[in-house]
Amino acid sequence: MVSAKRLVIIYKPTVMKTLKRLIIGFLSLIIILIIVWNIGIMIEYNRQLSIGNEYVDNIMTYLQEHKKLPDQLDWKTLEKLNPFAKGKKYDEGIASWPEYRKNGNDHFTLTFLEGFD
């Protein structure tokens, strides 16, 4: 009888330690997955931001050279200025490209549509 009680006393802490290790391991795995997921999103966001800045620079260069902004229906010029194009025709990748709108002679707007905007 004494040995049976001794087994129970020894057995319970080991199960609790194992359970704690499993819970900590599972939570650590979830935290690591969340971090990796967010890093991927941040990398994509920064990539799109830098390409958008390049697009703005191209439009500003066009404005300085031609003394006017390109018309928003001038597809060929917008394809040349748009770094998102990279070999695509304008109507093929239109969902992933920023929307260009001309506001007067010196101002323009680039709108990045994400999801169901």
Phi and psi angles of residue 110, each rounded to the nearest 5 degrees, phi first: -110, 125
Residue whose pair of structure tokens reads 């001309």 in the numeric block: 102
pTM, entire model: 0.64
pLDDT per residue, tens digit, the chain (117 aa), is 555 555 555 556 677 788 899 999 999 999 999 999 999 889 988 888 888 899 899 999 999 999 999 988 888 888 888 887 766 555 554 556 778 888 888 889 988 777 664
In angstroms, rounded to a whole number, what is the distance separating the alpha carbons of residues 110 and 94?
13
Beta bridge partners of 108: 102
Beta bridge partners of 111: 99
User: Are 65 and 71 contacting, i.e. CB atoms less than 8 angstroms apart?
Assistant: no
In angstroms, rounded to a whole number, what is the distance separating the alpha carbons of residues 46 and 40?
10
pLDDT of residue 23: 94
pLDDT of residue 26: 96
pLDDT of residue 91: 53
Beta bridge partners of 100: 110
In angstroms, rounded to a whole number, what is the distance separating the alpha carbons of residues 71 and 116?
26
In angstroms, rounded to a whole number, what is the distance separating the alpha carbons of residues 24 and 28?
6
